[in-house]
Every structure is written in structure tokens, then in C-alpha cells.
Amino acid sequence: MTLTADVLVAGGGPAATWAALKAAEEGASVVLADKGYCGTSGATASVGTGVWYVPPEEKAREAAMASREALGGHLADRRWMARVLDETYERVNELAEAGRYPFPTGPDGTPLRNGLQGPEYMRRQRIRVKRAGVTILDHSPVTELLTAADGSVAGAAGYRRQAGRSFEVRAGAVVLATGGCAFLSKAFGCNVNTGDGALLAAETGAELSGMEFSNAYGIAPEHTSVTKTAFYNYATFYRAGGEVLEGAASQGGRSVIARTLLSEKVFCKLDQADDAAQRAMRLAQPNFFLPFDRLGINPFTDPFSVTLLAEGTVRGTGGIRIVDDGCATTVPGLYAAGDAATRELICGGFTGGGSHNAAWAISSGSWAGRSAARFARAVGRGRQVSAAGGAGLRPTGTSANVDVVEVIRTVQAEVLPYDKNYLRHGDVLRTALKELDAAWDSVRSGLHAEGAGLVPARQAAAMVAHARWMYTSALARDESRGMARRLDRPGLDPAQHHRITSGGLDEVWARPEEVTA
């Protein structure tokens, strides 16, 4: 199946739907291709999320911008913060009015618009996208980009999983809103987030940024996937024997939990929540309690064992580097939004779930959609294209029997363990990187897939590439800043007040980039 459009949006979450809406408002014809079913797939669709929604009052905005600057290692940009706060405020108000979104109200009757229920939010976004005339291709992961003779991006190809056939979209511009990478860790809503967009971008020569800020882990009840960590601020953590685990906490003490889990189980009770807080928690995040209800556990009174699940660049910060206010990448015709793009500009080296990420998805998606539409209008249609995909599609050596499942196991063995990715040490990172480089060499030279096999093969390649950018960037940041903490370099070095850009596939590189005011 071959389609032609002005703009192709890859992805189906908040950033993708806002990009599609704003591109359509610019008069562009738009195709949206989602790996899952747009409106139900992705990290937001299954949860409630806070939003960095702050009324345009000077003191409130100042406090909002100052709140995470130090936590993020002072790598954020005030101008970008202000832009995101402005855009998010307008777009959330638009959602409330145009989509009749049912925001709750406070005691004084004022609408409370700093939170969204993911299932309802994304259901309405799908409806709005369809009404805008966007063609939605569900269950249609993009597997490679198409480029024109001048190197600009001119569309993409992929595979329609339910139809069992390939597809191609010739487009004037492409927006990558495919999410971050959680390495198939089974974190809630994240198993579609395998870093595909970063691989696609890098294959056309795009750069990445902030990939060292990628060691995010969410707390979850053991043997479950629900990594909603906000409520663990009410928790007390215990050792298996019942004694309090000193220093353990959701904020500022998660490394204590990680270290302890290396040798024994950790238990928890949400015993610091009073009756009013308990009622509010169940209203705000009902799905947080589903695993407990099914297991017959009262999390406020009964101890339960917990684990940490890797969320990589979903709850981390790194992603595709953007170079202008319209979220363009370093490759003409290619734009990035949401978790696929770096969030350093608004939160430096630390973000977390919801809040800033949710606001960034709304804002960057809107900017990327508008800019992609304008770029497409300028270049027109009818360009000759060539396929840009490599690993898993076009091996450089004689095709060998490379096992995709084994490749995934290899990358997970290097990025999921706490003592490698969370509790980072230079020597451990270097050893892990050797294993990942070998895995990439195997994938690049010998992995060849067709048909339905394309999707897992490209996911495996994307995860290996993602891990290599992460660890190469982590070694380049020879200090501890934001969430990029090194056991062998525990201090913050003022001389390293810069961002780390990275890129490359067969030869991965990382280098400092000056932080501009």
C-alpha cells in the first residue's frame, strides 16, 4: 500500500496526536501511523498523569521554572520553559473547550487542569484527529524512513501487522513521536516504547542529546507492571525481617532500594497516607490499586514486596536532538516530539513521569506538526526517494542466523540490572558497552528480516543502538549530574556544565555541547 501526504506522523500518543492536529490545522494532508491502536497504546493511554499546567501569573511561573533547575543539573533553558508553559496552557484549555474534556473543579468551582486521565484523554484525542481529516493507520509500525536525493526526509515505510502487508507513505515531512525506550521491561504501558524513532532518525544522520539521562527506574509491586511512583511518597520501606530500611524513599532514596534488592527483598506499606489521602489516591489513580485488589492486599496496612522496572528514556530525559523552535532535527524534513525528543531544554538532566513530560508532549507535538506542514508546503511533492533503513533490513555481510530473541536478551542483560544501569560505574559501563558493540556488529552484519519479522528485528536493533548511545554518553559525562550518577565520579564538576550530544551507528560518538542561556 502506497499513500501520499504532506506530513507523516509516526506514533500514536499525545505528542503524535497533537502533531497531527496542528499539521492538519495548517492545511496539510496528514497520515498518522501507530505501532499500536492510536488512543490506547503507549505510556499515557493507560494511566492518569499530571501536567505542567501553570496559569500565566508571574510568581507562579517563576516558581514553576525554578522548581527543577537544580535537580536537573542547571541544564534547562528558561526560554524553552516559558514557551512550553505558554503552549501547554493554551492547548489544555483548547482540549477542555473543543473536546469538552471533563476536568474536575476545586472547592471554589475553578477547573483543575493540571492532570489528565490517560484513557479518556487519548480516546478524545483520537476522535479529534479523525475529525480533522487525518488518515490513521493503526497497528502499522514504521520500520524505516525514506530520503530524497538531497538527504532530506521524504516519508517512511512500515508493516501493517493485522493486514499482513507492507506500506509506504511519501510525505513532504515526517514527525517522529514514537516515544522513548524502556527495553521491553514490562513497565506499565511501555512495551511499545523500544526506541524505534531514535534508530530511524540516526539512520538519516540525525543527532541525539542527553542520552546519559536514561537510567530511570519506576517502583512497582513485585511481579506487576504498574510503575506509578507518586504514591510511594507516602510509603515506608522495610527489609524482609520487618525492620525499616533506612534511607529508602521514592524521592532521594531509590538507590537504597536498588542496592538492597541486589541481595534481598524489599517490602513497603503506604502507611503515611491518612484517610483523606487514601480516598484522594483511589479517585486520582484507580488503576494503581487494581493489582492490590486482585491480590487481596490493602497497600495502606499490608506489607508487599516491591521491585524496580527500567523505564529508560520514557521517564528519562534523552532523545533526538532538536535544533529550532519548531522541533526540527539536524536532518531537513525530520521533526521530533514527545519522549522521542530530548527534554533537556525544559528540565535538564531530570524529568520523571507526567508533569514536564506531559507538557512537553503537548507543546513539542504542536510545534512539530505546524513546522512539518510548513516545510512540506515549501518542498512540494513528487520527489524521488530511497530507503534509509539498515540494521535488520539490509545486512552488510552474508546473512546469518541471528536470533532476535537472543539479541533482546543480550541488550536487556546490560541495561536492566540495577548494578549496571542504575548504580553506574565507569568500569561496568565500559564492559557492558563491549557486549553491546558486539551485539550491534552481529545485528548489522547478519540480521535480515522480512514481512512480520521486520517489526521485532527493528525493535531489537533500536534497543541495541539506544543502549550504546546511553552508555557512550554516560562515559562522556565524567561526573554526577541530574539522574546521570556515577559511583566512580560522585561529584558535580562545574567544568562539565554542558550537554552531551551523540550519534552514529557502526561508530558511536559523544561530545560536549555548550549550554546557551
pLDDT tens for each residue of 109-144? 888 899 898 899 999 999 999 999 999 999 999 999
- Count each helix (H run) and each strand (E run) in the chain, helices first: 13, 18
- Coil/strand/helix, residue 226: coil
Q: Which of 12, 87, 93 is nearest to 45 (CA)?
A: 12
State the pairing for strand pair 142-148/385-387: antiparallel
pLDDT of residue 48: 81
pLDDT of residue 130: 97
| Percent of residues, the chain, with pLDDT higher than 70 | 100
What class is the 217-310 domain?
A: alpha beta
pLDDT of residue 350: 92
pLDDT of residue 399: 65
pLDDT of residue 400: 74
What's the grid cell of residue 383?
A: 520527489
Question: Which element (helix H / strand E) includes 3?
Answer: strand 2-10
Count other C-beta atoms under 10 Å from residue 127's C-beta.
Answer: 13
Mean pLDDT of 331-341: 98
Give residue 117's identity as a one-letter amino acid code: Q
pLDDT of residue 331: 98
Using an 8 Å Cβ cutoff, are 316 and 216 in contact?
Answer: yes
What is the pTM assigned to this prediction?
A: 0.96
Mean pLDDT of 463-483: 97
pLDDT of residue 517: 57
Give residue 115's identity as a one-letter amino acid code: G
* pLDDT exceeds 90 at position 359: yes
What's the grid cell of residue 255?
A: 538507590
Q: What is the pLDDT of residues 211-232, one digit of tens each?
A: 999 999 999 999 999 888 889 9
Q: pLDDT band at 428, cuts 50/70/90?
A: very high
- pLDDT higher at 515 or 461: 461
Mean pLDDT of 62-77: 93
* pLDDT exceeds 70 at position 55: yes
Mean pLDDT of 149-164: 96
How crowded is the C-beta side of 339, counted as CA atoms within 13 Å? Answer: 33
Question: Which element (helix H / strand E) includes 127?
Answer: helix 118-131
57 Cβ neighbours under 8 A, 6+ residues apart: none
- Tell me the C-alpha to C-alpha distance, in Å, between residue 346 and each of 79, 262, 300, 340: 9, 34, 35, 15
pLDDT of residue 15: 97
The reply to whether 391-486 shares the fold of 2-214+313-387 is no
**CB neighbour burial string for 7-45, b if at least 16 within 10 angstroms, e if fewer:** bbbbbbbbbbbbbbbbbbebebbbbbbbbbbbbbbbbbb
- Tell me the C-alpha to C-alpha distance, in Å, between residue 377 and each of 5, 9, 102, 146, 173: 11, 16, 36, 18, 9
Mean pLDDT of 377-401: 90
343 Cβ neighbours under 8 A, 6+ residues apart: 210, 317, 319, 351, 356, 357, 360
Please give the biggest Cα pair distance in the chain: 70
Mean pLDDT of 32-54: 92
- Coil/strand/helix, residue 32: strand
The chain-wide mean pLDDT, for the chain, equals 94
- pLDDT higher at 36 or 284: 36
The Cα 131–Cα 305 span in angstroms is: 46
pLDDT of residue 223: 92
pLDDT of residue 111: 83
Give residue 97's identity as a one-letter amino acid code: E
What's the grid cell of residue 240?
A: 524482609
For the domain 391-486, what is the CATH code?
Answer: 1.20.58.100
State the pairing for strand pair 236-239/266-269: antiparallel
- Tell me the C-alpha to C-alpha distance, in Å, between residue 139 and each of 151, 194, 197: 28, 15, 16
Sorted by where each begins, the domain ranges of the chain are 2-214+313-387, 217-310, 391-486
Mean pLDDT of 54-66: 93
- Coil/strand/helix, residue 99: coil
* pLDDT exceeds 60 at position 185: yes
Phi, psi of 295 (to 5 degrees): -90, -5
pLDDT of residue 286: 84
Using an 8 Å Cβ cutoff, are 176 and 340 in contact?
Answer: yes
pLDDT of residue 27: 97
For the domain 2-214+313-387, what is the CATH code?
Answer: 3.50.50.60
pLDDT of residue 159: 98
Q: How many residues does the chain have?
A: 517
State the pairing for strand pair 385-387/334-336: unpaired
pLDDT of residue 139: 97
